Chain A
Amino acid sequence: MIRLLKILEFALSSLARRKFKNFSIIVVYSFTIAVLASVLLLTHSLKKMAMDVLVDGPDIVVQRLSGGRHDLIPADYSGIIEKIPGVGRVQPRVWGYYYDSLNHTNYTMLGIDEERQRFVMVDGKAPADDDQCMIGQGVAGAQHAETGMDLLLIDGNGIGYSCEISGVFKAASDLWTNDLVLFTKDALRRFFAMPDGLATDITVEVFNAREVPQVAQKIKRLLPDTRPITIDEILHTYESIFNWRSGLMLTIFTSSLIAFSILAWDKATGISGEEKQEIGILKAIGWDTGDVLTLKLCEGMVISATSFLVGVSMAYAHVFLLDAPLFVPVLKGWSVLFPRFHLVPYIDAYQIIVLGFLTILPYMASTVLPSWKAAITDPENAMRGV
């Protein structure tokens, strides 16, 4: 124990002696880890946010298929679905996407009537009549809009339409609601030029989660032109999208980083002649191979642990405080789905541990192995001054 502490002390003073070299290694290495950790934190946070939203959502979404494509569904199908045993609330939804060519953003537009109580207002109130709407905090921030201002839109018939913002709401997760604009159902139906009696889809709540597949089957049997999508299927789809995307990002980043790191490590950490000579001297004056290895392990641990902590902190700041500006190009594909949103800090300990192993171990190997090779040679060589 005392031996270990003394060797650690010597390791620290050796590191301080090669300040410049070690500082450069820590900088390069921290950046490498920061990029890797950013990818991990980002994909995980996105996935977690999407899952949270979906878990809160309906158990089944019923769409109508026509010619193999999603089509408007008769709102009175909800009456038929309600009669299935075990089914709770059934609600026809009116919603759609809107591309605002003035501001170059996508909105998700949703019609609400009695659901309005579910939204927590930060300002103003829910839309009371047909030329009012309310927006999420994200949209308000991005468009610099506030209560009382008008939102200018072009409706489904190509006619300009101005709608007063009656309030701004807050939502549990930014991911879903940051691009959300809410209207009364009638107003939105008119805006999308949707015939009366039709809805975009119907949401179904089921009392007992285990009955969801049976309920879905019954809906399909009763209404053969519909497609009931269960929460499990939605989760599954999202999982595969996220896994595919994060997998792709990880592959790109890791392969380039590994190539880069190998070069950098080779240059920076392959032990110098001076270090080799020092190892020889230590052996010649009575250190054994184990002592030298302990020294080099201490040095490696100090460098890699420091870099790891710095890198992970940098990644945290980058992703959660600055909203991942460096990944904006990679995330472009997402922005159609999820316009600007604030990432919710979410850290998965398992991921961090894996990252720790993936970054600390190769570093240790790349520094300790050459030292070990130098340390097992007979000290006689050092004695001769070679």
Chain B
Amino acid sequence: MAGTIQVERISKYYNRNRPDEVRALSEVDLTIAAGEALAVNGASGCGKTTLLGLVGCMSRPTSGSVLLDGRDVSRLPERFLGDIRRRTFGFIFQQLNLIKSISVLENTLLPLYPGKLSMKEMKIRAERILARFDLTARAGVKVSRLSGGEQQRVAIARALIHQPQVIIADEPTAHLDSVLAAELLDILDELNREGKTVLIATHDPFVSNHPLINRVIRMRDGRIVD
């Protein structure tokens, strides 16, 4: 099954060769099997978001490589990376990153515009996914009018609409109360059982201890400590 991720000795520097240079990751090795659910733990600033960004082809490592199903993607030019991001990953961002001034349906459709599906096929998919997350009745409502929990579900619907193999979530429970957090993890659990790889960055023990998670890795100062 597709969805294996290998991270080989990656380092990431920000502001390279400048006085404010930051080494966010140093020589990290990590292998994530297809269908695995992995939690990345660690204090704020230890490099979790940086790692997720590199795995998800959001940025490129300063050194080292990222392999998707054996293929090195860390040196590909940007125009291929957009395509890979879209085909492989579904992101759930800490800040949700929804466009607040457009409707639930329009937000959900966003990842499909650059692809090959017709507008009609896109809408059919969106309807199906909105129904799954109980958002059918809210489809035409502007995102800014939704509750936090509903917005979270829109973000998940959008992350899943293009049927990605890997779901990456960055501190997904940070802004949620315990009820909504539990609901979110149940959804991720369900997706994992459907075979999707799940990668979550968190410092919330509730997430790390959830039955969904197969493996927890801990980071400190840009390194994996165990």
Contacts and interface: CB of A to CB of B under 8 A. Distances in A.
B49 A2 contact: no
A9 B59 contact: no
Interface stretch (B3-11, B62-70, B88-96): B88-96
A7 interface: yes
A7 B115 CA distance: 10
Given A3-B114, A7-B113, A283 B82 contact: yes
B114 A289 contact: no
Contacts of A353: none
Interface in A337-386: 376, 378-380, 382-385
B47 to A, nearest CB: 12
Contacts of A6: 112-113, 119, 122
Interface residues of B, number: 41
B124 to A, nearest CB: 15
A385 B95 contact: yes
Interface stretch (B98-106, B176-184, B205-213, B216-224): B98-106
Nearest to B118: A2
Given A17-B102, A383-B49, A3 B94 contact: no
A276 to B, nearest CB: 13
Given A283-B82, A288-B83, A3 B113 contact: yes
Interface residues of A, number: 29
B58 A10 contact: no
A354 B56 CA distance: 47
A282 B53 contact: no
A123 B49 CA distance: 89
The residue in A280, A288, A291 that gathers the most chain B C-beta atoms within 10 A of its C-beta is A288
Interface in A1-37: 2-3, 6-7, 9-10, 13, 17
A286 B85 contact: yes
A242 B49 CA distance: 67
The residue in B59, B82, B89, B101 that gathers the most chain A C-beta atoms within 10 A of its C-beta is B82
Given A286-B82, A383-B53, 5 more contacts: A281-B98, A282-B110, A286-B162, A378-B53, A380-B50
17 contacts: A2-B116, A2-B118, A3-B114, A6-B113, A6-B122, A7-B113, A9-B119, A282-B110, A284-B93, A287-B82, A288-B78, A376-B78, A380-B59, A383-B58, A384-B49, A384-B94, A384-B95
**5 tightest A-B CB contacts, nearest first:** A288-B82, A286-B86, A385-B95, A380-B59, A380-B53
